[in-house]
Amino acid sequence: MKAKPVEPVDGIGQKLVPDAFTLVLAILSVIPLGIPGYAQVTPNFVLMSIYYWTIYRPDHLPYLVVFLIGLLVDLLTFGPAGVTPFALLIVRATVLSQRKFFVGKNFPILWWGFAIVTAAVTLLIWCVGSLYSGRLLDPRSFAFQAVLTAAFYPVLSWAFSRVQRVMTR
């Protein structure tokens, strides 16, 4: 009964790591970096985080957290509220259903999977956004943002895997 009383706390702490990471990334993505034009094409860091953790630790990033962080992104970026949580929830559900395929695969396949997810999400957000604002939004910045997001994935993925290694030690 009294064995290892510290473990549950550790467990909760570990559980919160993906959530905390995603939250921090959501805030970081609105920070002005002083790079011309960066604000419009900021890579979708939150998407990377959700993709990664859904594959490796789906139990640590529940739907409710995905929804809340998506909503926060919409509120902070002034985008139409509801669009990001909608897209992210679908991403989590889709990736979760394909999880068995991804787990244990080498990195290029995971990256390829992420690129497809990014393209699909960008298309979805563009469609919903255009529908919402009642006119076709300029697709160029969306496309550029998608390319940047896919390109940045290896960096974030590497960082997540380091964190995960520390977590599971």
**Residues at the contact surface with another protein, assessed by CB under 8 A:** 27-42, 62-64, 66-67, 70-73, 75-83, 85-86, 89-90, 93, 128-129, 132-133, 135, 137-138, 141-142, 145
Q: Which is nearer to another protein, 75 or 109 (CB)?
A: 75
Match 């529940």 to its residue by tokens.
Answer: 62
Report, in Å, the least distance between residue 9 CB and another protein.
Answer: 23
Side-chain-facing half-sphere of 5: CA atoms under 13 Å: 2
SS3 of residue 30 by DSSP: coil
> Which one, of 116, 120, 138, lies nearest residue 129 by Cα?
138
In whole angstroms, give the CA distance from residue 148 to residue 108: 17
Alpha carbon 115 to its chain's center: 13
Q: Which is nearer to another protein, 105 or 140 (CB)?
A: 140
Q: Which is nearer to another protein, 14 or 130 (CB)?
A: 130
Report, in Å, the least distance between residue 114 CB and another protein.
Answer: 18
